[in-house]
Chain A
Amino acid sequence: MNVATQNTRTVPDHGVNAPKLPIYLDYQATTPCDPRVVEAMLPFFTEHFGNPHSRNHKYGWDAEAAVEKARAQVASIIKADEKEIIFTSGATESNNLAIKGVAHFYKDRKNHVITTVTEHKCVLDSCRHLELEGFEVTYLPVQQNGLIDLEVLRNAITPKTAIVSIMAVNNEIGVIQPLAEIGKLCREKGVFFHTDAAQAVGKIPLDVDAMNIDLLSISGHKIYGPKGIGALYVRRKPRVRLEALIHGGGQERGFRSGTLPTPLCVGLGEACAIAEREMDAEAARLRKLSERLYNGITARLPEVFLNGDAEHRIPGNLNLSFAHVEGEGLMMGIKDLCVSSGSACTSASLEPSYVLRALGVEIEMAHTSLRLGIGRFTTEEEVDYAIEHLVQAVQRLREMSPLWEMAQQGIDIKSIQWAEH
């Protein structure tokens, strides 16, 4: 057989509406700004350019009014009070402020932080930093489905625990942690509960009171808002206190100094308002598309595995392992599809995804994974094109894969003495 002679690069035009290429399937990395968001922002770059902290004239008042309206829109999507919202530069800053801010403020009485091994790097790195300062950090494992075990959390909490930080939705595998149960447990134990909700806001209903969430991080660019803005919800009753990271003019109740970027705040507010209004319809549409994508792939390709819990996940994320095909090699074969790989080679470290490894996904399977992220602007035509393109690329690479050949011959690749290099 000579694969080289097959012209596998050409994807047949199978639909009347051939989509515009390349197709963006990386909505967990970032999202485009919704045009309605951009429209809301524009006047605040030019006409209404005032400093929202200028108290002496109309330019300042107009900007302040816009910022406060945005604050209320952000509060509304998580059922919080607007006084509890602090604008930040993004979820990374929000997570840093929540974790370090609480740990530092309560350090005389408490010195312990709990998080999970599958958190975003900015949470893990904030915790590592606290460890260097002398804090103790417990990194909870996750189960095979990516969810934490509540009993393991319960047993990890000590009288010295200041804060539990557990993400709402995982950025790689899209699984939803049991927020209400975690919140209830933390409240019972008198421990603050912070959740990184960058991937959850606008995708699943969030209610900080019903879920007993004390701090919650929001990102603008993950919810069709602008990059460079985010927010942190900080509960007022019972009050959560924080030590600021950024010092200056005392804006944002002293938690975060610096002139607020009015257009970005307006954009985040508008993005939240749209998401709140359209969440149910959007989730239903994405669920259908996601099923179409999954079913379309698995109907034609054997040995494709979904990573992360099948039920407790947001509809816009599919993390799939394509057995016997290396992820980066696969990405090269689907250059019309913009996706992320859990494989080693895309990162400088050459280590495959620590999230997949934490689930117990075997290292060779972690090398074969792709994250397909769909969102607000994904169409059915794009999904169909993606299925066709992906299936052909996987088939071609499997024909070239010695591991696939062995699997077909019934050879267990684990029985071979591989030389690790």
Chain B
Amino acid sequence: MYSEKVVDHYENPRNVGGFGKEEAGVGTGLVGAPACGDVMKLQIKVGADGRIEDARFKTFGCGSAIASSSLATEWVKGKTLDEAETIKNTEIAQFLSLPPVKIHCSVLAEDAIKAAIADYRAKSGASDKAAE
């Protein structure tokens, strides 16, 4: 039922946990809904060079949802925000060999990346303005 890669990420999830939301350089994305059976929290920590130096996630959901978010944290690391934004749900789904009924898990992971980036940009934009 599950691909080997999904099982691997489920059993050995990468980057589980979180950063303080108010920490400098941190962007937080919280997507999904408990009523739908999937909630993902994905956080990025952006370094001085503008690259994502670290990422964390927590997910409420099925094995595919956990695997999709675990994979997403691996993929965003080392990327610039613009690069990370180009990660597509189809790439996640393909890499994990998700069946059609689980495609929404990869969509959620893509949304989580975008939400974390948007949050970071909103926060850093705000602090830039405050510094002016």
CB within 8 Å of B: which residues of A? 1-4, 9, 324-326, 328-329, 332-333, 343-345, 348, 350, 352, 362-364, 367, 399-405, 413, 416, 418-421
Does A3 contact B13, Cβ atoms closer than 8 Å? Answer: yes
Does B62 contact A329, Cβ atoms closer than 8 Å? Answer: yes
Binds A, one of B31-39, B44-52, B83-91, B121-129: B31-39
CB distance from B60 to the nearest CB of A (A): 5
CB distance from A107 to the nearest CB of B (A): 41
**Number of residues on chain B facing chain A (CB within 8 A):** 36
A404-B32 Cα distance, complex, nearest whole Å: 15
Q: Are A9 and B65 CB-contacts (below 8 A) given A2-B16, A344-B37, A402-B41? A: no
Q: Are A343 and B59 CB-contacts (below 8 A) given A2-B16, A4-B14? A: no
A3-B10 Cα distance, complex, nearest whole Å: 11
Q: Are A364 and B30 CB-contacts (below 8 A) given A2-B17, A328-B63, A348-B101? A: no
Instruction: Output the residue of A344, A416, A421 with the most chain B CB within 10 A.
Output: A421
CB within 8 Å of A: which residues of B? 2, 7, 10-18, 30-41, 58-63, 65-66, 101-102, 104, 107-108
A352-B101 Cα distance, complex, nearest whole Å: 15
Q: For A345, what are the chain B residues with a Cβ–Cβ distance below 8 Å?
A: 37, 62, 101-102
Does A326 contact B38, Cβ atoms closer than 8 Å? Answer: yes
Does A332 contact B62, Cβ atoms closer than 8 Å? Answer: yes
A400-B60 Cα distance, complex, nearest whole Å: 7
Pull 26 A–B residue pairs with CB atoms less than 8 Å apart, ordered by A: A1-B16, A2-B17, A3-B13, A328-B62, A328-B63, A332-B2, A332-B10, A343-B62, A344-B36, A345-B101, A362-B35, A363-B34, A367-B34, A367-B35, A400-B58, A402-B30, A402-B40, A402-B59, A403-B39, A413-B34, A418-B33, A418-B39, A420-B33, A420-B35, A421-B33, A421-B36
A419-B30 Cα distance, complex, nearest whole Å: 10
Additional A-B contacts beyond A344-B37, A367-B34 (9; CB < 8 A): A328-B37, A329-B10, A363-B35, A401-B59, A401-B60, A402-B59, A402-B60, A421-B31, A421-B104
A405-B21 Cα distance, complex, nearest whole Å: 13
Q: Are A1 and B34 CB-contacts (below 8 A) given A329-B65, A421-B104? A: no
Q: For A416, what are the chain B residues with a Cβ–Cβ distance below 8 Å?
A: 30
Does A329 contact B34, Cβ atoms closer than 8 Å? Answer: no
Does A364 contact B34, Cβ atoms closer than 8 Å? Answer: yes
A367-B66 Cα distance, complex, nearest whole Å: 15
| Neighbour of A401 across the interface among B58, B104, B108, CB < 8 A | B58
CB distance from A393 to the nearest CB of B (A): 11
